[in-house]
Amino acid sequence: RAKHGHTGRNWLFFGDQHAATDFLYGDEFASAQKAGHLHRLSTAFSRDQAEKIYVQHRMEQEGAELWRWLDKGAYFYVCGDAKRMAKDVHQALLAITAKHGGKTPEQAEEYVSVTLAKTEKRYLKDVY
């Protein structure tokens, strides 16, 4: 984004097992924040404490603000494990849309899976 002069706010939810060994780009993320190229960073390290914390938990904690961003036209990219993580993030996005967007579960599914993903192409996945 910075290299190409792109503007606009962005928010990274980053998750892995251990901060000490898996947060490989932590310094780069901190530099990007300091330079104003990364506006928000929410981390989830699942094995650094007794209770596992995943990206979807951080999303739910920040649900009201995340909904405001989506409602104002934010794009939502999911990158990583397709088997569990992407599905859990999708479920969290549905719950956030229902709770903070004032939608029924059916309306949330329509909004996320059709409006965001297909019509507006603002929900994109790079999962494997």
Predicted confidence at residue 119, as pLDDT, reads 98
Taking the C-alpha atoms of residue 108 and residue 67, their distance in angstroms, rounded to an integer, is: 12
CA–CA distances in Å: residue 123 to residues 15, 43, 53, 73, 100: 19, 20, 23, 11, 17
Asked if residue 42 lies in contact with residue 58, where contact means CB atoms within 8 angstroms, the answer is yes
Taking only the tens of pLDDT, the chain with its 128 residues reads 778 888 888 999 999 999 999 999 999 999 999 999 999 999 999 999 999 999 999 999 999 999 999 999 999 999 999 999 999 999 999 999 999 999 999 999 999 999 999 999 999 999 99
Predicted confidence at residue 63, as pLDDT, reads 99
In the chain, what are the domains?
1-53 (no CATH), 56-128 (3.40.50.80)
For the record, the structure tokens of 67 come out as: 């909904």
Predicted confidence at residue 1, as pLDDT, reads 77
- Report the predicted TM-score, pTM, of the whole model to 2 decimal places: 0.92
Taking the C-alpha atoms of residue 102 and residue 95, their distance in angstroms, rounded to an integer, is: 10
Asked if residue 120 lies in contact with residue 74, where contact means CB atoms within 8 angstroms, the answer is no
